[in-house]
Structure 1
Amino acid sequence: MKVKLSNLDGSAGKGEVELSDAVFGLEPRADILHRVVTWQLENRRGTARGARERSDVARTGKKFGNQKGGGTARHGDRAAPIFIGGGKAHGPRVRDFNPSLNKKIRALGLKMALSSKAQSGLVIVDTLDVTDAKTKVLAAQLAKANWGKKVLVIDGEQVNEGFARATGNLIGVNVLPAVGANVYDILKHDTLVLTRAAVEKLEARFNG
């Protein structure tokens, strides 16, 4: 699949790039993408902290009052939830979120996410080099390109320093190196912008 290069202002660039059909030409499947996105979001969650219940608190188990005649309720020990320092009644339990997902499914999900953007919402640029690395200048260029409210820009080995600095305060524009490409971020943005170096890195990632 051949895609013509574009400039950061949306105008047509010089030349074109050949995209691998094995990476950018698959038919996306909603079930695969859903599994990978769910796996990603579950992995972000930390271990849920549990509360100490009645059997966990360090309090005496001695019966501290007479069964009758004291004028108070009948209690067995100070660990009861109604006492200060007692255990929590029906507190949260420890939960660990560490789902597993086959590497082949993860790789397939990323290919399908890239393929879905290749069908609509993929832009290839030569480099992210900007003559004037100013937020105002770059914002005007991107507004002219009209790539939508949410744009994900993926560069090669490292993100272009000037471009990253200029887009740091732009709402809706996110920048990643090729190694950070993931299904969730690709799908939640309107437009995916890849540099020529990013295309080479992504294709090498699957061919290696």
Structure 2
Amino acid sequence: MKAQLINLENKVVGEVDLLDDIFAQPIRKDILHEMVNWQLAKRRQGTQSTKTRSEVTGSTKKPWKQKGTGNARQGSMKGPHMVGGGVAHAPAPRSYEYKLNKKFRIKGLKTALSLKASEGNLKIVDTTVIDGQVKTKDIASKLKKLGVNKALIVRGDSRQDGFVLAVSNIKFVDVIPQNGLNVYDILRHDTLVVTNHALNELQNRLK
């Protein structure tokens, strides 16, 4: 599978090979759905907590004698039926994380990449000419030429600090290293922009 390699001026400067096993997978919405649920479950704080009757501050003394007061018999003021008492079946801190096997996670990432490729929302960009400090407004204008608005830019492991810093200040544009690429971030952006360095590293990692 061939794809155009473009520069930041939106000019074609060559071609790159995209592995069919990574960028031409059948689109399985059920896999994407499960991957997003898994990622969001891992992000949940799980810090909810309410006191039960054993945790509420107060005396455990019987509030009044059993008979002769005209009141219903009570053994504690900390029961869930009493004002100021503990909560029955109270929520407690917990982890919402669950396991997905590695094979399934890789399948999900390949499916998300294939979805962007099939939609025409995958751009392979040559950033080798970028060196040193670059200005945010310059990068923003170049991304506009690419027709990129809400985009996720995937960079290689070799850091391009000037480029990364400039892009990170642009609204609706996020930068992520290729080894941190994930299904949720791919799906929540309109366009996936992959640098030529990141493409080679990504394909070597997933093939």
TM more than 0.5: yes
Distance 1:158 1:99 in 2: 32
Partner of 1:206: 206
**SS of 2:4's equivalent?**
strand
Question: How well do the aligned residues superpose, as a CA RMSD in angstroms?
Answer: 2.3
- Aligned counterpart, 2:139: 138
Alpha-carbon spacing, 1:58–1:158, altered in 2? closer, same or farther (3 Å): farther
- Matches of residues 27-176 of structure 1 in structure 2 within 5 Å? 27-57=26-56, 59-68=58-67, 74-81=73-80, 82-84=82-84, 86-89=85-88, 91-119=90-118, 120-127=120-127, 129=130, 133-147=134-148, 149-176=149-176
Cα contact 1:42–1:97 (8 A) shared by 2: yes
Alignment length, in residue pairs? 204
The two structures have a TM-score, normalised by structure 2, of 0.86
Query: What code does the residue aligned with 1:6 have?
Result: I
- Which secondary structure does the structure 2 equivalent of 1:167 belong to? helix
My pick for the range that moved more, 195-204 or 74-83, is 74-83
Aligned to 2:13: 14
Cα deviation code 1:23-72 (max 9, x no counterpart): 11212111111111111111111234332211343643221323455587
| Cα pair 1:123 1:194 within 8 Å, conserved | yes
Q: Which residue of 2 aligns with 1:185?
A: 185
Percent of pairs with identical residues: 45
Partner SS, residue 153 of structure 2: strand
Matches of 1:178 and 1:202, distance apart in 2? 6
Shift of 1:73: 6.5
SS in 2 for 1:116: helix
Structure 2: runs of 5 or more not aligned: none
Q: Which moved more, 1:13-22 or 1:126-135?
A: 126-135
**What TM-score does the superposition give when structure 1 sets the normalisation length?**
0.86
